């Protein structure tokens, strides 16, 4: 499977778009839908349909807040509370954290998102925006970007010397971005060659 098939954030977005939202469960058994558990303090897994796959609610996601990845429980909680005002959202998060602290040693807790982060997440999950400044790109996207840089000569690969460099004056510096544009331009000959073509020799 590709990494995009296993990404819980992408799966959540796709399931919301397909109007087939996931549900929280207590156990890992993917076949029993009767164990659906709405209480996030008790639930341990988020179950997706088509294809069926479960993720632990403690699974870190690509959503980054305060330089650390946010777990799936916090993402699902923010989505469930998308229509709630910020003070009520924060109060609900504190109440859930108290319930989670009573369940185990307090290691599991919901990370309440800031207003802008929450708005950005909900907009991305609904499909209203294609990019989010808080969601780190997939590894496949990063490798595609590296391949594009190698292909363009910007990084790695065999270094190329632009033909305009031979005629450039010594000491003249050109902006690297402008040089990249020049390298992409089509090279033209003189007027006669353009009009009449090259005669065979």
How many CB atoms lie under 10 A from the CB of residue 70? 23
Largest CA distance in the chain: 89
Give the integer Cα–Cα distance in Å for 184 and 20: 46
- Is the pTM higher than 0.75? The answer reads no
pLDDT of 140 reads: 53
Q: How many CA atoms lie within 13 A of 113 on its CB side?
A: 28
Q: Give the tens place of pLDDT for each residue, 85-131.
A: 999 999 999 999 888 887 766 667 889 999 999 999 999 999 888 88
Which residue shows structure tokens 């995009």? 4
Q: Mean pLDDT across the stretch 144-158?
A: 55
Is the bond into 51 cis (omega within 30 degrees of 0)? yes
> What's the length of the chain?
201
Q: Buried (b) or exposed (e) across 86-99, using 16+ Cβ within 10 A?
A: eeebbebbeebbee
pLDDT confidence tier of residue 4, bands split at 50, 70 and 90: low
Q: Give the tens place of pLDDT for each residue, 122-139.
A: 999 998 888 888 888 876
- Which of the 8 DSSP states describes residue 199? P
């Amino acid at each position: 499977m590709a990494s995009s098939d296993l990404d819980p954030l992408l799966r959540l977005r796709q399931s919301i778009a397909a109007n087939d939202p996931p549900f929280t469960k207590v156990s890992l058994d993917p076949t029993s839908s009767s164990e659906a558990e709405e209480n996030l303090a008790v639930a341990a897994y988020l179950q997706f349909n088509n294809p069926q796959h479960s993720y632990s609610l403690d699974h870190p996601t690509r959503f980054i807040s305060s330089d650390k990845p946010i777990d799936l429980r916090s993402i699902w909680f923010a989505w469930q509370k998308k229509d709630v005002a910020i003070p009520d959202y924060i109060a609900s998060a504190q109440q859930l954290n108290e319930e989670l602290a009573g369940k185990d040693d307090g290691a599991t807790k919901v990370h309440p998102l800031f207003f802008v982060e929450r708005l950005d997440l909900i907009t991305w999950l609904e499909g209203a925006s294609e990019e989010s400044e808080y969601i780190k790109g997939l590894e496949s996207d990063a490798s595609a970007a590296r391949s594009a840089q190698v292909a363009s000569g910007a990084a790695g690969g065999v270094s190329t010397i632009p033909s305009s460099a031979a005629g450039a004056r010594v000491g003249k510096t050109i902006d690297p971005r402008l040089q990249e544009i020049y390298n992409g331009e089509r090279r033209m000959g003189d007027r006669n060659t353009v009009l009449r073509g090259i005669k065979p020799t």
